[in-house]
Structure 1
Amino acid sequence: MNKNVAGVDIPDGVLARAAFEHVRGIEPELLLHHALRVFLFAALIGCKDALAFDMELLYVSALFHNVGLNERYSHSPNRFEIDSANAAREFLRSHRADESETAQVWTAIALHTTPGIPEHMSPLVALLSAGVHMDVRGARYHEFMAQQRDDIVQAFPRERGFKTKLIEAYACGMEHRPETTFGTVNADVLDRWDPDYRRLNFCGLVLGSEWPH
């Protein structure tokens, strides 16, 4: 793997290497490359915004943020983000990481798809979300130099049809637990992917509750 991409040094400590090997063993290349791009975009945003953050913890967070889409969690009762966060926490605890740092990683992963909240939390939480949104939907796209974007995509390619394939990966990871998508952007995925999916409606739940008035 490249040691430096777009001016960002890829973490290469014992924890970082172990995290990469762990995730590489359970994720397809599509999601692994996505995770590495997320890290790089997030790190560049952190440097641009002059935020104080731990590069290795950001790297671990990015690597694990979609692990919950793995087939082993397909019948989990949790949102995939929670399964991802739990997997990261288990990994970090197995490597005797600091509990407060582990909690930050858990929170960053658990909230990475929740709009409007991460940017008001710690730099790690804010940056993971920002990196995901940049790679998934191009948020802050024009704040990056073309050379930075090109370097990152050259190192960790967005394969042809990435947009559609990413939506498919999300859908396959959630189609057996559709109830976990209520109130999240994940409902949009299943709404587009599964013609039989019917999203829950908050107003319907309120008006249809057992309360008489």
Structure 2
Amino acid sequence: MVNGISGIKIPDSKIARGAAELVRQHESDMLFNHSVRVFVFGAMKGIRQHLKFDAELLYVAALFHDLGLADAYHTPTKRFEVDGADAARDFLKSHGIPEPKADLVWEAIALHTTPGIPQFMRPEIALTNAGVLVDVVGIGYDEYTPEQREHVLAAWPRGDFKNEFVKLQTCAALKKPQTTFGTVNFDYIEHHDPGFHKPNACMRIRNTPWPS
């Protein structure tokens, strides 16, 4: 495994190795490579901003952040982010990690697609979100040098990431569309079927049983 990219080393503790092994069992190379890139880009930003963060917890959050998209961790009623967050917390607690740290990882994963909030929270939460944003939608792309981006992609290639990722997210969203209302995940359904309409917040308010 490649280490030392711009001062970032992949955590190699027993927990880190166990987390990577578990996630690899259930994710494609495309999704696993994305998860590691999320850690590396997030950690790079943390160092650049002189933030104090737990690299091991950030790594676990990055590894598990999309595990809810895997069939083995799919539930019919929870957002995929929560499915992944639950899996990560269970994994950490089973390895003796104190509840506050396991909860921190849960929050980082559960909030990783929520706009406008994670960046104001603890570093592990903010950096998980930042890593996702740069790798998926390119937000913060120019904050990394061409050499940094090239080194990361050489170690963990993107392949046909754009098309494969959209396809995977769309399939997951279509399995439980009710979990995507009010989140960015609805965009996958709308892109797949422009005629699909989510519940309108204004109509839901007007149709409540309250008299006014």
Query: What is the TM-score when the length of structure 2 is the normalising length?
Result: 0.96
What is the SS of the residue equivalent to 1:124? helix
Q: For residue 82 of structure 1, report the CA deviation from its aligned partner.
A: 0.4
In structure 1, what is the equivalent of residue 114 of structure 2? 114
In structure 1, what is the equivalent of residue 76 of structure 2? 76
Count of residues paired in the alignment:
212
Identify unmatched segments of 5+ residues in structure 1. none
Identify unmatched segments of 5+ residues in structure 2. none
Q: For residue 2 of structure 1, report the CA deviation from its aligned partner.
A: 1.2
1:137-152 matches, cutoff 5 A: 137-152=137-152
Q: For residue 74 of structure 1, report the CA deviation from its aligned partner.
A: 4.2
- How far apart, in 1, do the equivalents of 2:194 and 2:80 lie? 21
1:171 equivalenced with 2:170 (yes/no): yes
Q: For residue 116 of structure 1, report the CA deviation from its aligned partner.
A: 0.6
1:187-210, Cα deviation, whole Å (9 max, x unpaired):
111111245632222112112222
In structure 2, what is the equivalent of residue 200 of structure 1? 199
1:16-35 matches, cutoff 5 A: 16-35=16-35
Tell me the C-alpha RMSD between the 2 structures. 1.3
> Which moves more between the two structures, 193-202 or 52-61?
193-202
- How far apart, in 1, do the equivalents of 2:60 and 2:75 lie? 25
- How far apart, in 1, do the equivalents of 2:98 and 2:201 lie? 39
In structure 2, what is the equivalent of residue 66 of structure 1? 66
Q: Which residue type is aligned with residue 110 of structure 1?
A: A
> Which moves more between the two structures, 32-41 or 5-14?
5-14
The runs of 4+ residues in structure 1 deviating greater than 6 Å are none
The question of whether the paired residues in 2 share the 8 Å contact of 1:118 and 1:125 is answered with yes
1:119-171, Cα deviation, whole Å (9 max, x unpaired):
111111111001100100111111111000000011000113x1121111111
In structure 2, what is the equivalent of residue 104 of structure 1? 104
The alignment-based identity, stated in percent, is: 45
The question of whether the paired residues in 2 share the 8 Å contact of 1:74 and 1:174 is answered with no
In structure 2, what is the equivalent of residue 189 of structure 1? 188
Q: For residue 71 of structure 1, report the CA deviation from its aligned partner.
A: 1.6
What is the SS of the residue equivalent to 2:26? coil
- How far apart, in 2, do the equivalents of 1:24 and 1:194 lie? 31
Q: Which residue type is aligned with residue 44 of structure 2?
A: L
In structure 2, what is the equivalent of residue 209 of structure 1? 208
Q: Which residue type is aligned with residue 45 of structure 1?
A: K
